[in-house]
A = this chain, B = another copy of it.
Amino acid sequence: MVNIAILGFGTVGSGVAEVLAKNSAHIDQKVETPVRLKYILDVRDFPDNPFGDKIIHDFATIENDPEVDIVVETIGGAGVALDFTRRALSAGKSVVSSNKELVAEHGCELLQLAARKGASYLFEASVGGGIPILRPLSQCLAANELTEVCGILNGTTNYILTRMIRAGLSFDAALREAQANGYAEADPTADVEGHDACRKICILAAIAFGRHIYPRQVPTEGITGVTLADVAYAESCNKKIKLLGRAIRQDDGRICAYVAPHLLDGENPLSGVEDVFNAITVKGDAIGDVMFYGRGAGKLPTASAVVADVMDAARHIKSRKRVEWGPGGEDVTVSPERLETAWYVRAKGRVDAVRAGFPGVALLSRSGAPAEEVAFLTPVMTGAEVLERLGALEPQSLFRVLD
């Protein structure tokens, strides 16, 4: 018998309770012991809910109950969730989490604490919702020296960009539609400014490259600056605008990680990832490119990833699962400033200035472009070099271009 406590009865927490109940026979058979939901911690009561009788309000009940083997943390944030996670691990209980903010900020510390206490700390659901990515990254691709992880990591922004591209909606209109459909929150800042994608690329990079990377070390640009003009220019050269999180291992072992909109070639498998779907590509020395694709959010996909971790932790109650990475530090990362790529430039100015700064580039065109608007793709160079060569051109949009 393995006993579970869920912290937080919101969307993901209630989804976990549902999946545990619905697939109970299947889960018990796979784990080879009954898996029982014992407590749900929430500040609210849910008298009419089928799981209402599991609700408690005091974390100490869970912390002090030796029968509780696994704590599922779906509270979110790095406040009380951090306190409860530390206390659960200190009590020798394994913790399964969908909390990307907590893992991105405190993952290294919590993994070390889990190791000392002989417990597991697992968080497959924190990246890519239901897409299995963290475990394949740490296990199946273990024989590879990984060189890059790159992905469409946020379903809300991908939905907004898809609607801008397909339906010609402005950013504001697409955002309102996403909110109406429940794909974006009332305060969409964490999504549209790229903070959510930033936390996820931090976690992916830590697993791929073995060192903690803090969100503050990852320059992050969201999609609020993407206009329909940019969408039209991208289409004119068979490219799509996507918000990517990237982490690239440099030859000196340091990691260059950032989040920004990119123009992706139509042949790139990530360019076909539409709506709320997420996808993550991994490059390894032996394997080449591998891609993982699926729903990056949503109650049941995320809950199914949490429950898979619960099952894994339950099977390893006596022999902890090893997922680990080393501590972070300023020397771990390097700024993307030195990373050379092609660039898409949209600017106010004259064609002469383009010819002077970027000899030989082809101008892009779109219908309805105002006079004195120019757009083009540069050769491969740093962002600083682009800015230097712009001269009298006044940049409006500046995005990296990937094949």
Taking beta carbons and an 8 Å cutoff, which residues of A are in contact with B?
15, 19, 22-23, 26-27, 30, 124, 130-132, 135-136, 139-145, 269, 272, 284-295, 298, 300-301, 303-308, 310-312, 319
Contacts and interface: CB of A to CB of B under 8 A. Distances in A.
Contacts of A289: 294-295
A269 B15 CA distance: 27
A23 B293 contact: no
Contact of A145 (B26, B130, B135, B311): B26
Contact of A144 (B23, B141, B269, B284): B23
Contacts of A145: 23, 26
A287 B301 contact: yes
Contacts of A290: 130-132, 292-295
A287 B294 contact: yes
B269 A286 contact: no
Contacts of A19: 143, 286
Given A27-B143, A139-B312, A141-B308, 12 more contacts: A22-B285, A23-B143, A23-B285, A132-B140, A142-B312, A143-B303, A143-B307, A286-B300, A286-B307, A288-B298, A290-B294, A290-B295
B295 A269 contact: no
7 contacts: A23-B143, A23-B286, A136-B140, A142-B311, A269-B272, A287-B300, A291-B292
**Copy number in this complex?**
2
Contacts of A272: 269, 272
B304 A130 contact: no
Contact of A142 (B287, B294, B308): B308
Nearest to A20: B143
Nearest to A294: B290
Interface centre among A287, A298, A307 (most CB of B within 10 A): A287
Nearest to A288: B295
A312 B138 CA distance: 11
Given A131-B290, A132-B136, A132-B140, A284 B304 contact: yes
Name the residue among A27, A143, A298, A304 with the largest chain B CB count within 10 angstroms: A143
A179 B309 CA distance: 44
A292 B130 CA distance: 13
Nearest to A303: B286
A287 B304 contact: yes
Contacts of A124: 140
Most chain B CB atoms below 10 A, which of A26, A144, A286: A286
A308 to B, nearest CB: 5
Contacts of A15: 286
A396 to B, nearest CB: 31
A135 B135 CA distance: 9
A311 B23 contact: no
A312 B135 CA distance: 12
A287 B295 contact: yes
